[in-house]
Amino acid sequence: MSADLSRLRIFENPDSASVCVASEMARLIRERASLGRSVVFGFATGETLVPLFAELVYLHQEEGLSFPNVVTFNLDEYLGLEAGDPRSLHAVMMRNLFDHLDIPAHNRHFLHSDLRPSAIKAHCAAYEAEIARAGGIDIQVLGIGRNGHIAFNEPGSPIDSRTRRVMLAGSTRVDAVSEFATLAQVPIAALTMGCGTILEARRLILMAWGAKKARIVRRAITGPVTAKLPASFLQSHPSAQVFLDPPAAAVLVRESR
Ligand code: GLP
């Protein structure tokens, strides 16, 4: 994705971008189903993915798209919440997507929130092994944090990092406060797929909407590849694309004139 911007796709709005991503996923689901094979998707949570989830649900409910051959891995999870806590990213995924699709329960994979500290390492290693057993991730969908994080890989996360426990950045906790009553209640730590894990997906699609993402998107796409801004690692991936709406693309477009 070097500074030539060739991997950049700008859409009229988040809905039209999400329709495009969903149709790519739908094509792959059908193609693999016709071969009797499964397809593996990686999902982020966050506001950015809500229109994509809505489109996938629409394709299932209105267009007859069926998901029995779909395997999923979620990117990240807060640490320290009870299993089933409505604020967990697992619960968010169920509400926004999985409750409305026919993906078999045993095909959906999540990092757990309620682990004893001594169980974390083995859990993360098992998650990596599960991804490998599934044949790797075909399409990984990503959002971007305003500090340039992907999943919960905060600035400083190495390019070869694997699934692990991380401490959340201050800005990430502030951005999560709307789901928790107070900042003090936002977890301080999380589990996340690593940058290396994410970069092994065969296809990466990063989506960002709105003016508040414009500056960080510009730095991720045209700035140096650096652990200070983990989303910049996508520049080194052979099949990464960035889907934007016009406000998120505004700084890039202005500077490329
Ligand atoms: C969160 C998640 C990411 C998400 C990002 C952007 O903290 N860990 O997976 O993509 O930040 O969130 P949003 O889409 O709500 O802006």
Per-residue pLDDT reduced to its tens digit, 141-174: 999 999 999 999 999 999 999 999 999 999 999 9
Single out the catalytic residue among 100, 107, 123, 147: 147
37: nearest Cα among 46, 50, 24, 28? 28
CA distance 76 to 44: 7
Asked if the model's pLDDT at residue 2 lies above 70, the reply is no
How many CB atoms within 10 Å of residue 32? 16
Asked if 107 and 71 count as a contact pair (C-beta separation under 8 A), the reply is yes
| Structure confidence by residue, pLDDT tens digits, 39-80 | 999 999 999 999 999 999 999 999 999 999 999 999 999 999
CA dist 2 → 135, 139, 203, 223, 244 (Å): 28, 21, 16, 9, 17
Residue 154 among the catalytic residues? yes
| Residue 257: per-residue pLDDT | 77
How many CB atoms within 10 Å of residue 180? 15
Asked if 72 and 44 count as a contact pair (C-beta separation under 8 A), the reply is no
Nearest-CA residue for ligand 1 atom 12 is 46
pTM over 0.85: yes
| Structure confidence by residue, pLDDT tens digits, 78-131 | 999 998 999 999 999 999 999 999 999 999 999 999 999 999 999 999 999 999
At which residue do the structure tokens 């409305």 appear? 100
CA distance 201 to 220: 18
| Residue 3: per-residue pLDDT | 53
Please list the alpha-helical segments (H only) found in 84-141: 89-96, 120-133
Residue 24 among the catalytic residues? no
At which residue do the structure tokens 């406060």 appear? 177
Compute the distance from residue 37 Cα to the ligand 1 centre, in Å.
Answer: 30
> How do 76-78 and 189-192 pair as beta strands?
antiparallel
Compute the distance from residue 213 Cα to the ligand 1 centre, in Å.
Answer: 11
Residue 149 among the catalytic residues? yes
CA distance 117 to 135: 29
Q: Apex CA 88: angle with CA 188 and CA 96, to 5°?
A: 140
Does residue 40 sit in helix, strand or coil? strand
| Structure confidence by residue, pLDDT tens digits, 216-248 | 999 999 999 999 999 999 999 999 999 999 999
| Residue 1: per-residue pLDDT | 41
Asked if the model's pLDDT at residue 5 lies above 50, the reply is yes
Compute the distance from residue 151 Cα to the ligand 1 centre, in Å.
Answer: 7
